[in-house]
Amino acid sequence: TIAGSAPTTVVKETVGQPLGALVPCITTASAIAELKRRVFRACHFLFTGIIPNQVAPQDSEEWRLAVEHGGRGHLGLGPKTTHVIYRPGYNTAKVKQAVERGDVW
């Protein structure tokens, strides 16, 4: 199956199921996709100084990878933000606020 699509169904005989019952088929690809979505499941990211200004954050590779692995991207520091990803030495107001909050990595 394609990542994000519904599992395939097959007809097969399974103990405890009526003959011909539809049983979800878990493929290696769907299992890997599900595991990937769990990596950053509870993470909310703010990227600052990482994504070039001419690129929409949602279109960046960093944002795409965070989402592909179950995380969420944010455009600003908010109460849900758990991680700030920034370039070393790039001490913006967002970075300083995150450090002061104490609950952002």
Whole-model pTM above 0.85? no
51 shares a domain with 18: no
22 lies in which domain range? Answer: 8-37
> Which amino acid is present at 67?
V
CA nearest 101: which of 72, 81, 85, 76?
A: 81
Number of domains in the chain: 2
The predicted pLDDT at position 6 comes to 57
Contact 47, 73 (CB under 8 A): yes
- Whether 90 maps to a domain, the answer reads yes
| Rounded CA separation 43/29 (Å) | 23
44 falls within a domain: yes
Tell whether 54 and 97 lie within a shared domain: yes
From first to last of its 105 residues, what are the pLDDT tens digits of the chain? Answer: 455 555 554 445 555 666 666 666 788 888 888 888 888 999 999 998 889 989 999 999 999 999 999 999 999 999 999 999 998 888 888 888 888 888 888
9 is written with which tokens?
């169904």
Same domain, 12 and 58: no
Rg (CA), the chain: 20
Let me know if residue 18 belongs to a domain: yes
In a domain, 69, yes or no: yes
> Does a structural domain hold residue 1?
no
3 lies in some domain: no
Residue 94 sits in the same domain as residue 67:
yes
